[in-house]
Homo-oligomer: A and B are copies of this chain.
Amino acid sequence: MKILITGGGGMLGQKLIAGLAKVGSLNGKKIESITVVDAYKQSQALDGFDFKITSKIVDITDRKECDAMIAEKPDVIFHLAAIVSGEAESDFEKGYRVNVDGMRNLFDAIRLHSDQYCPRVVFTSSVAVYGGPYLDVADDNFILQPTTSYGVQKAIGELLLNDYSRRGFLDGVGLRIPTLCVRPGLPNSAASGVFSNIIREPLMGIEATLTAGKDASMIFTSPRSAVGFLIHAAQIDTALLGARRSLMMPGIYATLGDEIDALRRVAGDKIVGFIKEEIDPFVQEMLTSWNFPRFEAKRARSLGFTCEDSFDELIKTHIADELGGQIPGLTK
């Protein structure tokens, strides 16, 4: 079993490698090698696994580089490579070049490899494929009408995944992954950064800025659950998906205000005191344009995808996975 991870140099890719090391096999087939490619970052900490890991710098906007990756015939491809929402909004052409044309390069390399080759492709779509006006509760039949360029590019990716799968070129599963929270490490340029910042920094005893109004809402899942989604998607019976290869993943609905309430329950008033309010009009506008409703992820749940039960649990997952079970901010 050979695995390829595109965009694997990022946080989720690195956690996915660790998750794959833990399971050791997919559908009973032992993982023998993982190739991790990224446009920018070499993977870190690749020692100590039971399988061979190769890390490469690859630009998926170059079709020849995609052909070279696919020449190795990976059995499972996790396609995580993408320009994130903030950058796709500020650099229109780069977003389309990577998120749409890069994906087509990868898919066409697979399509034209040989008739017999049909790898499982797990594609990280996003809740950003949705856009208002919403119903009170959105379900699996709700229209995809994104209100950001990033969301449009991910929705196009989903459509391509359906068509290439229907044609038998690849065996795709798309995951509309809720906003990751609490996102560890440093902020990236995603406009959704505020949702993590106001939890992560206060827990460390560092001031964080609430850059949008408290009623801004979103759907969340933990990095741990997201890795679980990816590994589960690599193993499910895709015959159960029919023509619709992408699934809204389970997540926790919360407003920024709900997040602060949960933080108070889990970590107390002192930690909440590290949050300062200062509205950023750009962030406020993007969050208002999303303003995500509650979502019933019935299809995904029926296929065995699971996540935490509450925002409190998301914070506890972060404390367990990233902070060694401690809250450093309490002693500052």
- Check B163–A149 contact: CB distance below 8 A: yes
A22 within 8 A of B: no
| Assembly stoichiometry (copies) | 2
Interface size on A, residues (CB 8 A): 26
- Check A159–B156 contact: CB distance below 8 A: yes
Q: Which residue of chain B has its CB nearest to the CB of A96?
A: B104
Interface string of A230-261 (1 = CB under 8 A from B): 00000000000011100000000000000000
CB-CB under 8 A from A162, the residues of chain B are: 145-146, 152
With A152-B160, A160-B152, A163-B152 known to touch, is A143 a contact of B141 (CB < 8 Å)? Answer: yes
A159 to B156, CA, bound (A): 7
With A143-B141, A156-B156 known to touch, is A131 a contact of B163 (CB < 8 Å)? Answer: no
Interface string of A64-99 (1 = CB under 8 A from B): 000000000000000000000000000010000000
CB-CB under 8 A from A147, the residues of chain B are: 166, 243
Q: Which of A253-291 contact B (CB under 8 A)?
A: none
A binding-site residues for B, Cβ under 8 Å = 92, 131-133, 135, 140-147, 149, 152, 155-156, 159-160, 162-163, 166-167, 242-244
The 4 A-B pairs with the shortest beta carbon distances in the complex, nearest first, are: A152-B163, A152-B159, A141-B143, A147-B243
